[in-house]
């Protein structure tokens, strides 16, 4: 049995990550480290961040966030990109860049432990999805990333369809699932997404609420961990824990620690200040 350590959005801020791991006394031989996505972009040290996480890969994983997918899409089309990104270009130019990208692309969109009743996603889950449905929908995107990345990335960007529906054409379905897992903040009971607001729940658009207000009943007795929402900050209720405390914006980098031989209620939050 090992400590389960979950860390919020790093976004290329490697120095706070190093300090947080030191503060945690992280031991790769006995702990398990899990990132809530967005390892890269904006912090200026994306290459160094990927190298650090990759060096710990035997005891570490991440779910993919929207910025991680943006890096993978950038790599897929480089050098014919719409907009330059120096952090991404530094990764692609590095001697170990290909190895890092291969590892990143193999990471899941969603993670869960049925035994521990723990799950993790970057942004959120559709109100109509329980743990099994979230895993199945995530697997669709993971297969696309593995089998036909060119087609997937060509149609990944966009706010529509506004919600996922069974029987959607493949391109629309994959985009909808991706938006749910990596971009959502506000939705309605039927799973319709709203991207007009990136603010706190106090600024929610009319007719919408934070996605976790509509969790499917099958999430009862689970702890669902997520990142992505820096204006929400660290957030906890009886079923979810949000860990994006805005490190890249000068906030903090936060870890949720769940201790061995105990259930998810036996947990603590540990953070370090950021000046990324």
Is the dihedral angle over the CA atoms 224, 226, 232, 234 positive or is it negative? positive
Burial code (b: 16+ CB inside 10 Å, e: under 16) for 58-88 equals ebbbbbbbbbbbbbbbbbbeeeeeeeebebb
Q: Is 157 helix (H, G, I), strand (E, B) or coil?
A: coil
State the DSSP string of 66-113. HHHHHHHHHHHHTTS-SS--HHHHHHHHSTTHHHHHHHHHTS-SEEEE
pLDDT in tens, 167-185: 999 999 999 999 999 999 9
pLDDT in tens, 220-238: 999 999 999 999 999 999 9
Count CA atoms closer than 13 A to 185's CA, side-chain side.
21
pLDDT in tens, 81-124: 778 999 999 999 999 999 999 999 999 999 999 999 999 999 99
pLDDT at 262: 58
Residues sharing a CB contact under 8 Å with residue 23, sequence separation 6 or more, in sequence order: 270, 272
pLDDT at 264: 54
CA distance 34 to 191: 27
Give the Å distances, CA to CA, from 206 to 66, 186, 196. Answer: 25, 10, 11
**H or E stretch covering 273:** strand 267-273
Give the Å distances, CA to CA, from 236 to 31, 152, 212, 267. Answer: 23, 34, 11, 11
CA distance 187 to 276: 31
Q: Which two tokens stand for residue 251?
A: 């906030």
pTM here is: 0.96
Tens of each residue's pLDDT in the chain, 276 residues: 589 999 999 999 999 999 999 999 999 999 999 999 999 999 999 999 999 999 999 999 999 999 999 999 999 988 877 789 999 999 999 999 999 999 999 999 999 999 999 999 999 999 999 999 999 999 999 999 999 999 999 999 999 999 999 999 999 999 999 999 999 999 999 999 999 989 889 889 999 999 999 999 999 999 999 999 999 999 999 999 999 999 999 999 999 999 876 555 678 999 999 987
CATH number at residue 139: 3.60.21.10
State the DSSP string of 178-202. HHHHHH-SEE-TT--EE-S--S-GG
Q: Which two tokens stand for residue 171?
A: 């391109």
Name the percent of the chain in helix, strand, coil, to the closest 5. 35, 20, 45
Is the dihedral angle over the CA atoms 191, 192, 197, 203 positive or is it negative? negative
Query: Is-contact 46 88, C-beta < 8 A?
Result: yes
pLDDT at 103: 98
Beta bridge partners of 68: none
Number of domains observed in the structure of the chain: 1
Q: Which domain range does residue 121 map to?
A: 3-273
């Amino acid at each position: 049995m090992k400590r389960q350590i979950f860390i919020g959005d790093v976004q290329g801020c490697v120095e706070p990550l190093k300090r947080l791991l030191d503060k945690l006394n992280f031991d790769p031989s006995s702990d398990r480290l899990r990132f809530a996505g967005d390892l890269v972009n904006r912090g200026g040290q994306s290459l160094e961040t990927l190298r650090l996480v990759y060096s710990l890969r035997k005891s570490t994983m991440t779910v993919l966030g929207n910025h991680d997918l943006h890096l993978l899409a950038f790599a897929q089309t480089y050098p014919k990109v719409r907009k330059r990104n120096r952090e991404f270009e530094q990764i692609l130019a590095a001697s170990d860049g290909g190895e890092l990208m291969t590892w990143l692309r193999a990471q899941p969109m969603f993670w869960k432990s049925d035994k521990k009743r723990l799950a993790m996603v970057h942004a959120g889950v559709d109100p109509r999805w329980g743990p099994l449905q979230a895993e199945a929908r995530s697997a669709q995107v993971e297969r696309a990333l593995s089998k036909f990345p060119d087609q997937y990335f060509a149609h990944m960007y966009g706010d529509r369809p506004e919600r996922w529906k069974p029987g959607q054409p493949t391109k629309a379905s994959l985009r909808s699932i991706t938006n749910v897992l990596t971009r959502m903040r506000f939705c309605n009971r039927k799973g319709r997404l709203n991207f007009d607001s990136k603010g706190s729940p106090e600024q929610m658009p009319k007719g919408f609420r934070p996605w976790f207000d509509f969790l499917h009943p099958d999430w009862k007795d689970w702890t669902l961990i997520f990142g992505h929402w820096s204006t929400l900050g660290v957030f906890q209720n009886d079923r979810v824990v949000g860990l994006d405390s805005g490190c890249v914006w000068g906030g903090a980098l936060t870890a949720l620690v769940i201790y061995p031989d105990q259930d998810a209620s036996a947990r603590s939050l540990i953070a370090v200040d950021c000046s990324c």
